[in-house]
Amino acid sequence: MLDPQFRTVLDTLTAAGAVPLVRGSAPESRDHYRELSLSRRGPGFVPEQVAAVRDATVDGPRGPIPVRIYTPSQDRGRAVTYLHGGGWVLGDLDTHDPVCRRVANAVGAVVVAVDYRLAPEHPHPAPLDDAAAALSWTAAEFAGRPLGVAGDSAGGGLAAGAALRARDAGVLLAAQLLWYPTIDPALRSASVTENGEGYFLTAKDMQWFLEQYVPGGTADPHVDLLAADVTGVAPAVVATAEFDPLRDEGDAYATHLSAAGVEVRHVPGPGLIHGYAAFLGAVAAADTRAAEVLAAFDALLG
């Protein structure tokens, strides 16, 4: 059954008119998503403490890419590039600041969060190009550290695509963390229908996001990841959520990776919804499962 605290969260969001996420145009939807993300923190919110945070830019294929670099409280000599969720249309460095702080401290890694270009102004492959460029920059800037790539939702799909590009470019990745990732641009999974309404992310939201990101669809295996040859890609943590439209495609990608001989740690999320890592500190089950996910990522980073 749905976690009772998430039932309360969903009822509250519905009563406040905060869902669905898509609100007409891309700019309107971005404003709504940002407001919703920041409102979860409340007036007394204190961010998780890290040793340092600084904003910078890295060279991208079409100009500078803004990044935010987090130094963990206890640096264990790793480096992780983090790609935020938001359907390739929404989200920024501020919306995902809490989860980046948690990743940094949990695995003792410098985290480079990437403000990649967004659709529809910049459809595929622009976000993936920026993700790959930032990952290459992280590898060079923090040479000698075990390197990871991580992301949630659309960012999880970008992380998976960037991991494939890294393999092909000879960039050595220790691990990838895919939090409820976008894997199937055709939305063919049964969970899209089963969980497509009433659980925060809707099937209609996902269809709209995909229309912005890959108008007309795509067969590119860096997006249609179940069609990708994943042989030799970095070991992966794949985290899914029971009441998520994307649950089945995440499960299927874990199986796809394993069948290709890739080490996989699949962490299901019973009772949880899509985006549960955005509710850390508000839903106990989200904190518990996030700790398990990050412990698995920590083990793969070595």
Distance of alpha carbon 253 from alpha carbon 242, whole angstroms:
15
The catalytic residue among 29, 153, 189, 191 is 153
* Tokens 């860096």, residue located: 222
Exposure string for 136-147, b = 16+ CB within 10 A, e = fewer: bbbbeebeebbb
Task: Indicate if 189 belongs to the active site.
Answer: no
The catalytic residue among 84, 248, 274, 298 is 274
Task: Indicate if 25 belongs to the active site.
Answer: no
Q: Is 30:80 a contact under the CB 8 Å cutoff?
A: no
Task: Indicate if 244 belongs to the active site.
Answer: yes
The catalytic residue among 244, 256, 266, 298 is 244
Catalytic residues: 153, 244, 274
